[in-house]
Amino acid sequence: MSATRLEKLRKISPLVIGDIMLDRFIYGKVERISPEAPVPIFKYDHEKEMLGGAGNVVANITSLGCKCDFLGVIGNDAEGRKISSLLKNIGVHSHLLRLNDYPTIVKARLIAGNNHIVRVDHEKNLPIIANVLDRFESILMKAIKGADVVLLSDYNKGILTVETTQMIISICRKLNKPVIADPKGLDYSKYRGATLIKPNLKEFGEATGRKYSPKSETFHEEVTEGAVRLMETHDIDNLIVTLSEYGMLHISRREKKINHIFTEAREVYDVSGAGDTTLATLGMAIGAGMAIKDAMVLANKASGIVVGKLGTATVSFEELCNACSDIGRARAESSMLSDDDLAALIAKAGKQHKSVKIVYSDFTSLSADQIEKLNDIKSGCDCLIAVICGKNGGSELARAVLCNHIAVDSVGSTDDINEFLRKHAADISLHEEDVISLN
């Protein structure tokens, strides 16, 4: 993905609505056990405060170089004033409802070296105050009008009730604004009408009433069944399930097909806030007009960067650009399948009853028309494989594009496509119309 295309992300106007918190990190060290009880003695060194919860979504958006609006509730206290100051410092235009009898949520973490020892939460759920709703709706209408995309960051602390969430989604639909929710809880009826919801696998399992294992051979079929049922019940257009080290997958209510991308392997230091990074990047990409599949690839890269950092972290625009460039080159160098591996992949897909199509060419170049044709072919099959034919192996640019194109599931090479099909006829079963020339 080019830096020019990524630059479009920085020109949109996202609105984040949700449960904002103050994250307090207290650093020190542990050198001995207390004589009073079998607990470590934490020796204080320093601390820092940053935006948490929905505030971390906002922080990720601004870190990527985009201006952002935020709407949420804080207490009329010192911590609430700190949140207001932190939002102002990163250039966020905020609509904050300050309540006198409601404490700002604070999550304090004690960190000794690289070890997270304990977290202390200071919070209570937001009371439903009827006389605030009219004011809330008035602020909503104005804020949503100026937004390109609306992100709901739900931590189940009280601001996104059934009533307020449906109010937001109703306004978004009237104004034709995409609305993306990071859900919490078992009742997804409050997200009725959303453009996209993004639960993790545990949350998705709780919402559909069953457990899912990415290691199961029937995982995709089970997730698709549960996702389609959930979306049709609650009139939701798209669902993305994040799978931790297994990546993420997307199911469209219209197409009822699964698209699964895997995370790039990297050392994980801390998963804190990775979901917020995913929501922020997805929202920016969709708000900028990217297809959901492309937005998902970008969000996957962004969250992969964040889990390599300690604490609630953000990703910068430069880091994301570098990741896209580096990963694109690495995949082009390492993802090419050999003749035998290619045959094994096609045979495995057939055994799983997946529809497979092969496109082949010498790929000395790759035109815009050919790329569009790849998209069209992919829409009619489960697995699209691009095969580079001939001894030249295609151009470097074509290989890089194919290996990183969201429509192409795998890329292989062979000297002669007809010889390849004859050689592996006993293992793979393809119809003539499933083998398509792009020359």
Q: What pLDDT, in 10s, does the model give residues 313-370? A: 677 667 776 666 544 444 444 457 777 888 888 888 777 778 888 998 888 777 767 7
Instruction: Give the Å distances, CA to CA, from 207 to 179, 184, 212, 223, 290.
Output: 20, 9, 12, 12, 28
Domain end marker among 309, 330, 351: 330
45 belongs to a structural domain: no
Residue at a domain's end among 330, 360, 394 = 330
Question: Does a structural domain hold residue 147?
Answer: yes
Distance (Å, whole) CA 152 – CA 160 = 8
Residue 271: pLDDT over 50: no
Degrees (nearest 5) of the Cα angle 73, 76, 78? 110
Average pLDDT over residues 60-89: 93
Q: Is residue 119 part of a domain?
A: no
For residue 367, the domain's CATH number is: 3.40.50
Cα dihedral sign for 383, 290, 68, 193? Answer: negative
307 and 321 co-located in one domain? yes
Domain co-membership, 56 together with 168: yes
- Asked if residue 172 and residue 285 are part of one domain, the reply reads yes
- Cα 32 to chain centroid distance, Å, stands at 41
Helical axes 396-404 vs 317-334, angle rounded to 10°? 110
Residue 371's domain comprises 335-437
Q: Is the pLDDT of residue 167 over 70?
A: yes
One domain for residues 303 and 419: no
pLDDT tier at 39 (50, 70, 90 boundaries)?
Answer: very high
Of 98, 188, 179, 175, the C-alpha closest to 142 is 175
For residue 136, give the nearest of 157, 169, 172, 167 by alpha carbon: 167
Q: What is the dihedral of CA 230, 234, 236, 238, to 10 degrees?
A: -10
| pLDDT level of residue 65 (50, 70, 90 thresholds) | confident
Whether 184 is in a domain gets the answer: yes
pTM of the shown model: 0.72
Q: What is the overall mean pLDDT for the chain?
A: 84
| Residue 276 among the catalytic residues | yes
375 neighbors 407 (Cβ within 8 angstroms):
yes
DSSP-derived 3-state class of residue 24? strand
> Which H/E stretch holds residue 361?
strand 356-361
Instruction: Quickly tell me which residue has 């393809």 as its tokens.
Output: 430
Residues 63 and 201 in one domain: yes
CATH number of domain containing 245: 3.40.1190.20
Answer yes or no: is 264 within a domain. Answer: yes
Q: What are phi and psi of 359, to 5 degrees?
A: -115, 135
Question: Is residue 404 one of the residues assigned to a domain?
Answer: yes
Domain count, the chain: 2
Res. 270: pLDDT tops 50: no
For 219, 398, 401, the CA distances from 370, given in Å and listed in that order, are: 32, 11, 11
The residue from 23, 154, 276, 294 that is catalytic is: 276
pLDDT at 411: 85
The answer on 148 and 129 residing in a single domain is: yes
Identify whether the C-beta of residue 252 lies closer than 8 Å to the C-beta of residue 237: yes
Q: Let me know: does 310 contact 13? Beta carbons within 8 Å.
A: no
Q: Do 188 and 93 reside in the same domain of the chain?
A: yes
Q: Do residue 340 and residue 429 come from a single domain? A: yes
User: Does residue 307 share a domain with residue 200?
Assistant: yes
Q: Looking at the structure, do residues 303 and 363 belong to the same domain, yes or no? A: no
State whether 311 and 375 are in the same domain.
no
Same domain for 322 and 339?
no
pLDDT digits (tens, 9 = 90+) for 114-154: 788 999 999 987 776 666 777 788 889 999 999 999 999 99
Residue 297 lies in a domain: yes
Residue 110 within a domain: no
* Among candidate residues 282, 50, 253, 48, the one with its CA nearest the CA of residue 152: 282
Domain boundary among 295, 330, 365: 330
